[in-house]
Copies of this chain bind each other. A is one copy, B any other.
Amino acid sequence: MVTRLSNYFLRTLREDPSDAEVKSHRLLVRAGYIRRQAPGIFAWLPLGLKVKAKVEAIVREEMAAAGAHEVHFPALLPRELYEATGRWEEYGDNLFRLQDRKGTDMLLAPTHEEAFTALVKDLYGSYKDLPVTLYQIQDKYRDEARPRAGLLRGREFTMKDAYSFDHTDAGLEASYQVQRDAYERIFTRLGLEYVIVQADAGAMGGSRSEEFLHPTVIGEDTFVRSAGGYAANVEAYVTEVPAEIAIEGQSAAEVFDTPDSETIDKLVAAANADHPRADGREWTAADTLKNVVLKLTNLDGSTELLVVGLPGDRDVDLKRVEVAVAPADVDPAEAEDFVKNPGLVKGYIGPWSPAGAVLGEESATKIRYLLDPRVVSGTSWITGANEAGKHVFGLVAGRDFTADGTIEAAQVLAGDPAPDGSGPVELARGVEIGHVFQLGRKYAEALGLRVLDENGKLVTVTMGSYGIGVTRALALLAELNSDDKGLAWTPEIAPFDLHIIATGKDSAVFDAAETAVADLEKHGFDVLFDDRPKVSPGVKFGDAELLGVPTIVIFGRGVADGEAELWDRRTGERTPIKIEELTAALVAARV
């Protein structure tokens, strides 16, 4: 195929789009790959569509190799199925809901677990039909609160979603592994570095769950990893619980005046100044018990307060709390919450007062109180005494206060131990490009998907769910394969194999380029030919750098001497080449 720039639907732009936050977004718009239609919603122009098709082809090949069957579901689905699994509500504002002309509730599917489950239920009835893994490459919808970074977090986006169906746990484990392996091959072929991290199964309600994260500073997800091989999404990190400490022999708690000590820093300074430790060491933030008031919003819209107690050297990580209290939403408590609950004295909140417990189910206020797992029995704390200007010192967990349970709410810090004993963790940022879940039987149970097993007994099917963000992966590939001049694709995903440029006004140059292009086409190359007659070499070179086809061939003055110039977009290297040797050289270089 030959595509001529003189007659191609393309307009490259000199200016960055004003709303572009990341490089991939800027370059894909400027190079004429995509065009914004609404927040988080894009149209695909010819170049973008070609690259997208290449990414999809790789995904399709590996899905076929993994024995998955391709189907295609509608985006528009009736409410019923999602009602049966509770997700009609659970998705909250992220779901695009609508009614048809008859008032029937419908939705634009954000993911298709329910539909696939219903399909298999509809057609299959025996263990002999299993295992089966189905997939689709399809446009999905999520009404993100903050669509951002171009294709990285869109409201309409293309996903490959696959679903496996087995009648035994061992079968699910095997199906899961097959998909997981396919994902490794896909990202390797795409040239997209990934880290497989343990993830929280969260709202999907499953058992085992791993994310494929592409490590990058522009990532929204934080993950931790140890030199010994542990890797997890921070939401899935599990705190190492220290050993309990003997309570016996610890001195009694004492209340002191601590005026103007609403923050941990001020409290530590006041404690060191006015109430130094007996052993001479300095008090630190880690000696204080910080109590943070949060507000949970349940699916039905009702709210409740929750107080989290954690060592004062850590902040609450709201994303970790969200996982812990799902499907409720979490926000910091607001001023009005303190007004309504005068018992909560801002800056001086604690689990205990001289009169007894003041938080948790045992207290009069009945505000739920959960502790960081590090606050084990026998640990001693400086914490609020529930009266302005007063803190209590030496308050011992298990002796002076208890809680309603523990919660993984504290931020994970670099140097925290990996829960598998593989050493301290470091923190990094990444973008989720794939996710593999062992859903288990949740969806099959909700929708009644059962099959007859070997003994003629009806058993509930167990499922896996596997997703790849196709358009997100494409955006990351643009992010990776680009520089300040434009895109610089790898051959595997480039929109064209070759970008041929004819420069100047000499018709002999254009003729030589035409001849070469025809020959290259004959040899199976997909060629973009910049044959524009009245465009300066500078503009042509600039466009070539912006568009990002990895191999560029320039026909210019050298044609008089039988020479063209090979230009490697990725290294910038330019090499003269005899025109008569061009096709052979390019065929030899072809992967």
Contacts and interface: CB of A to CB of B under 8 A. Distances in A.
Interface of A: 7-9, 11, 32, 35, 37-38, 41-46, 49, 67, 69-78, 93-94, 96-98, 100-101, 104, 106, 108, 115, 119, 122-124, 129, 132, 134, 139, 141, 143, 145, 155-156
A140 to B, nearest CB: 11
This chain: copies in complex: 2
A123 to B, nearest CB: 4
Given A101-B143, A115-B43, A74 B122 contact: no
Given A35-B119, A75-B139, A98-B96, A70 B43 contact: no
B71 A9 contact: yes
Given A76-B141, A145-B101, A119 B46 contact: no
A124 B11 contact: yes
Given A46-B70, A74-B156, A139-B139, 11 more contacts: A37-B115, A38-B77, A44-B71, A46-B69, A49-B71, A75-B139, A76-B96, A76-B156, A93-B101, A94-B101, A101-B145
Nearest to A97: B98
Contacts of A115: 37, 43
Contacts of A108: 76, 98
Contact of A72 (B7, B44, B72, B78): B44
Given A35-B122, A96-B98, A124-B11, A155 B76 contact: yes
A192 B77 CA distance: 31
A35 B77 CA distance: 13
B38 A78 contact: yes
Contacts of A8: 69
5 contacts: A9-B134, A42-B74, A43-B73, A75-B156, A76-B141
Contacts of A37: 73-74, 77-78, 115
Contacts of A101: 93-94, 143, 145
A9 B76 CA distance: 23
Contacts of A9: 69, 71, 132, 134
A434 to B, nearest CB: 22
Nearest to A141: B76
A132 B46 CA distance: 13
B43 A100 contact: no
Nearest to A125: B11
B100 A71 contact: no
Give the one of A71, A77, A134 with max B CB within 10 A.
Answer: A71
Nearest to A147: B100
A100 B134 contact: no
A101 B141 CA distance: 13
A43 B69 contact: no
A71 B43 contact: yes
A132 to B, nearest CB: 6
A8 B119 CA distance: 15
A92 to B, nearest CB: 9
